[in-house]
């Protein structure tokens, strides 16, 4: 009995000692930014980087506008990820392997390898943010938006954030961007062009791979079949719309060569050339991206539309169709279909067949993606005054 009492006494003593501490340790993160101190919730005092626990107790991750924000110096500078950091004025550039992402203070714009994406980030980066319990100011950025663009895997599991490096051989996939800087400050031109004389828009739509070439393979499906299903779904809508003359490089499981696909587009003097593909990489890879060839942007410009313009429009629509993360545009100079075609051209990668979740979702949504593809082209041609 006496032993029980003394155990209880020790317990109460420990408990009472701990209590003031636990009351002090707030679940909020106080950050001063532009002279205003705010309390943010969902504090995370550590994350995992390449499997190692990274202590962030003095500079925690916190939630702002639905995005987890983290300190650039603590997470990217002195970490195994070895991200190069360059600040200048209100911008900060983060370089990881062959991707360079520039973000601006208090702006949602992201510039990835020279390609500007407006309203891209989950929350606005904060330059000169001060954790009120520490000295010094630092950059704090939305982690998911930044990591996914840099090609760093970002995952949350049981409320814990995991950042993981992707190895060299893995980055040699189709998602590997060519590190060619584009002029840095181009943005989406959403202004409608003056209406031109209405005439039929000639499109060539290319379902990637086919026949002996399966493209990427997932656990359940093959890329060539998903590509074709999306294109055939779009065809149902184009077939009923006389404003468009659409030529398909294939409507069955055949394999036109890459040169043949280009010839079909060039010989028909197509206004636009759009390739439909599915990506593949890691089981954890996720997101929608669109490839275009920036080096031929001017050479292939037609009716005031560049490949980049087309890619931006198709990317926005594909992302809204899939609901997958927006991986933006990627400049690819080495793809035949983007190199030998004489008109604005782009290649949509809807999602990752290597990711079982995206694979299943894509399989069950090919009709929807097809309809959205039709709607996107229709809307874009209206915006450009090519149709009414
Ligand atoms: Zn493909």
| Rounded mean pLDDT, 174-186 | 37
Residue 344, domain member (yes or no): yes
Residue 215, domain member (yes or no): yes
Residue 151, domain member (yes or no): yes
Q: Same domain, yes or no, for 96 and 144?
A: yes
- When pLDDT is cut at 50, 70 and 90, the band that residue 370 belongs to is very high
Tokens 């606005």 found at: 124
Among 99-103, 138-142, 147-151, whose mean pLDDT is lowest?
A: 147-151
Last residue of a domain, one of 144, 165, 186: 165
Last residue of a domain, one of 165, 184, 216: 165
20 alpha carbon – ligand 1 mean position (Å): 59
Query: How far is Cα 100 from Cα 89, in angstroms, rounded to an integer?
Result: 17
- When pLDDT is cut at 50, 70 and 90, the band that residue 186 belongs to is very low
280 alpha carbon – ligand 1 mean position (Å): 8
Last residue of a domain, one of 165, 180, 214: 165
143 alpha carbon – ligand 1 mean position (Å): 29
Say whether pLDDT at 15 is over 90.
Answer: no
Contact between residue 49 and residue 79 where contact means Cβ atoms under 8 Å apart:
yes
Q: Same domain, yes or no, for 274 and 363?
A: yes
Q: Same domain, yes or no, for 318 and 249?
A: yes
Among 56-65, 75-84, 283-292, 375-384, whose mean pLDDT is lowest?
A: 75-84
55 alpha carbon – ligand 1 mean position (Å): 41
Quote the mean pLDDT of the chain: 86
226 alpha carbon – ligand 1 mean position (Å): 10
216 alpha carbon – ligand 1 mean position (Å): 6
Percent of the chain, pLDDT > 90? 68
Residue 256, domain member (yes or no): yes
CATH of the domain at 318: 3.40.630.40
User: How many angstroms separate the Cα of 85 from the Cα of each of 62, 122, 258?
Assistant: 21, 20, 40
Q: Same domain, yes or no, for 317 and 379?
A: yes
Residue 79's domain comprises 29-165
- When pLDDT is cut at 50, 70 and 90, the band that residue 89 belongs to is very high
Say whether pLDDT at 320 is over 90.
Answer: yes
Q: Same domain, yes or no, for 321 and 365?
A: yes
Query: How far is Cα 376 from Cα 364, in angstroms, rounded to an integer?
Result: 20
Question: Which among 352, 229, 349 has a CA at the least distance from the CA of 282?
Answer: 352
Quick one: residue 164, left, alpha or beta (phi over 0 = left, psi -120 to 50 = alpha)? beta
Say whether pLDDT at 328 is over 80.
Answer: yes
- When pLDDT is cut at 50, 70 and 90, the band that residue 295 belongs to is very high
Say whether pLDDT at 56 is over 60.
Answer: yes
Residue-level pLDDT at 7:
55
- When pLDDT is cut at 50, 70 and 90, the band that residue 103 belongs to is very high
Residue-level pLDDT at 25:
61
pLDDT, tens digit, 9 for 90 and up, residues 230-284: 999 999 999 999 999 999 999 999 999 999 999 999 999 999 999 999 999 999 9
Residue 10, domain member (yes or no): no
- b/e per residue 198-210 (b: at least 16 CB within 10 A): eeebbbbbbbbbb
User: How many angstroms separate the Cα of 338 from the Cα of each of 110, 218, 262, 300?
Assistant: 24, 25, 8, 10
Residue-level pLDDT at 155:
85
Residue 318, domain member (yes or no): yes
228 alpha carbon – ligand 1 mean position (Å): 11
* DSSP conformation letters of 15-59: HHHHHHHHHHS-SSEEEEETTEEEEE-S-BSEEEETTEEEE-SSS
Q: Same domain, yes or no, for 258 and 130?
A: no
Q: Same domain, yes or no, for 338 and 274?
A: yes
Residue-level pLDDT at 23:
42
119 alpha carbon – ligand 1 mean position (Å): 28
Q: Same domain, yes or no, for 233 and 130?
A: no
- When pLDDT is cut at 50, 70 and 90, the band that residue 1 belongs to is low
Q: Same domain, yes or no, for 248 and 148?
A: no
Say whether pLDDT at 212 is over 90.
Answer: yes
**What are the residues whose beta carbons fall under 8 Å from the beta carbon of 364, sequence distance 6 or more?**
none
Residue-level pLDDT at 9:
53
Q: Same domain, yes or no, for 99 and 248?
A: no
386 alpha carbon – ligand 1 mean position (Å): 29
Contact between residue 86 and residue 65 where contact means Cβ atoms under 8 Å apart:
no
CATH of the domain at 135: 3.30.457.10
Residue-level pLDDT at 167:
54
Say whether pLDDT at 316 is over 60.
Answer: yes
Say whether pLDDT at 82 is over 90.
Answer: no
Q: Same domain, yes or no, for 148 and 205?
A: no
> What is the torsional sign of CA 252, 257, 260, 261?
positive
11 alpha carbon – ligand 1 mean position (Å): 64
Say whether pLDDT at 190 is over 90.
Answer: no
197 alpha carbon – ligand 1 mean position (Å): 36
Residue-level pLDDT at 153:
82
211 alpha carbon – ligand 1 mean position (Å): 13
> How far, rounded to the nearest angstrom, does the alpha carbon of residue 300 sit from its chain's CA centroid?
25
Residue-level pLDDT at 181:
36
279 alpha carbon – ligand 1 mean position (Å): 6
Residue-level pLDDT at 165:
80
Residue 171, domain member (yes or no): no
Q: Same domain, yes or no, for 157 and 288?
A: no
Percent of the chain, pLDDT > 70? 85
Neighbours of 95 (CB within 10 A): 17
Top pLDDT among 163 and 183 is at 163
Question: Which among 64, 212, 204, 189 has a CA at the least distance from the CA of 125?
Answer: 64
The total number of structural domains in the chain stands at 2
> What is the torsional sign of CA 116, 322, 338, 218?
positive
Using only C-alpha atoms, the chain has a radius of gyration, in whole angstroms, of: 25
Residue 376, domain member (yes or no): yes
């Amino acid at each position: 009995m006496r032993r029980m009492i003394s155990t209880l006494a020790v317990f109460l003593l420990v408990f009472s000692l701990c209590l003031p501490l636990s009351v002090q340790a707030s679940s909020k993160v106080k950050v001063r930014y532009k002279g205003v101190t705010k309390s943010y919730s969902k504090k995370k005092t550590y994350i995992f980087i390449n499997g190692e626990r990274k202590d962030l107790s003095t500079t925690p991750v916190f939630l702002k506008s639905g995005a987890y924000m983290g300190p650039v110096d603590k997470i990217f500078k002195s970490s195994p990820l070895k991200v190069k950091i360059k600040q200048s004025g209100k911008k900060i550039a983060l370089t990881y392997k062959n991707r360079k992402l520039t973000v601006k203070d208090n702006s949602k714009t992201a510039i990835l390898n020279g390609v500007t994406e407006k309203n891209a980030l989950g929350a606005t980066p904060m330059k000169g943010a001060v954790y009120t319990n520490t000295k010094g100011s630092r950059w704090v950025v939305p982690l998911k938006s930044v990591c996914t663009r840099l090609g760093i895997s970002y995952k949350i599991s049981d409320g814990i954030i995991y950042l993981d490096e992707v190895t060299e051989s893995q980055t040699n996939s189709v998602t590997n961007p060519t590190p060619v800087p584009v002029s840095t400050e181009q943005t989406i031109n959403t202004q409608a062009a003056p209406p031109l004389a209405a005439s039929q828009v000639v499109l060539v739509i290319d379902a990637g791979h086919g026949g002996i070439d399966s493209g990427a393979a997932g656990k359940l499906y093959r890329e060539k079949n998903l590509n074709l299903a999306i294109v055939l779904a779009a065809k149902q809508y184009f077939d009923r719309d006389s404003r468009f003359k659409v030529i398909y490089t294939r409507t069955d499981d055949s394999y036109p060569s890459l040169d043949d696909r280009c010839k079909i587009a060039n010989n028909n003097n197509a206004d636009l050339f759009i390739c439909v593909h599915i990506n593949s990489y890691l089981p954890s890879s996720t997101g929608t991206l669109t490839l275009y060839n920036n080096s031929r942007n001017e050479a292939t410009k037609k009716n005031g539309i560049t490949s980049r313009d087309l890619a931006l429009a198709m990317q926005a629509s594909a992302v809204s169709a899939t609901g997958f993360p927006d991986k933006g545009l990627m400049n690819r100079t080495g793809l035949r279909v983007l190199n030998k075609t004489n008109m604005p051209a782009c290649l949509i990668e809807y999602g990752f067949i290597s990711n079982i979740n995206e694979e299943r979702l894509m399989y069950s949504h090919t009709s929807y993606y097809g309809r959205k593809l039709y709607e996107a082209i229709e809307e874009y041609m209206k915006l450009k005054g090519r149709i009414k």
